[in-house]
Amino acid sequence: MRKDLTIVKVGGKVVEEPESLARLIKDFSSIKGPKILVHGGGRSATAMATRLGIETKMVDGRRITDGAMLEVVTMVYAGLVNKNIVAGLQAHGQNALGMTGADMNIIKSHKRVKGDVDYGFVGDIDAVNHQDLSRLVLQDAVPVIAPLTHDGQGQMLNTNADTMASAVAAALSNEFKVTLVFCFEKKGVLSDPNDEESVISKITPDDFARLKAEKVITEGMIPKLDNGFDALNKGVFQIRITNPEGINTEDNSGTILLNT
């Protein structure tokens, strides 16, 4: 029988505001059994770039990662954000291990091919080293993975954290019964962005298509659900979208993605 494994991807204000980060760390620490945390940190990277006089360039909500920006995101994601999370988890008795995709060769990728937009040093995932990740979690380590990968030739690459979490969840789904939780500041996917209580409890692929057409789901939520459904199709047991308070509840709070 496969063991339960919980993978939480967290981003947005949750990891970048001390109060919400403290709540996340407390709730994540209370999750029983093997677990992995994948985090973002885009706002912190943008703030650091501004302090250093480096311009942030975005196209359709996606960061252009030139050489200077790659240095910033590596410093912020793998350093400041990652180690603050690790230190917080250690304070709650968690044997946390801060990592990027380069550490233990856990996630290899290739530099995104230039198209209409040159995203620079952005990585698209090729492989997840599920064997070593599995060994870590079975030894009670808690991997805390920053949104950076590598190409195996010495090049670090900025990589979308939602995509990384989905790829890790899919890769481990043969060995574990994986629940993937996308955690952000809202209680779930909202039917009305101005009503915090308008959580859509369940979304199927047909619902997703309809909600996109109706402009209920837009912008950054679209790739999050795209990644979620992709992971579901690759064997992940459950996908939920919720806030820190909802990550460790038995009532499956938030929004659940379903195949049908």
Note the pTM of the prediction, 2 decimals.
Answer: 0.94
* Whether the predicted pLDDT of 48 surpasses 80: yes
Q: Which residue has the tokens 């990968």?
A: 149
Q: Express each pLDDT in 144-176 by its tens digit.
A: 999 999 999 999 999 999 999 999 999 999 999
Query: What range defines the domain where residue 165 resides?
Result: 3-257
Distance of CA 193 to the CA centre of its chain: 22
Count of structural domains within the chain: 1
Would you give the distance in Å from CA 40 to the centre of its chain? 6
- pLDDT at position 127 is 97
Q: What's 176's domain CATH number?
A: 3.40.1160.10
Burial 163-178 (b: 16+ CB within 10 A, else e): bbbbbbbbbbbebbbb
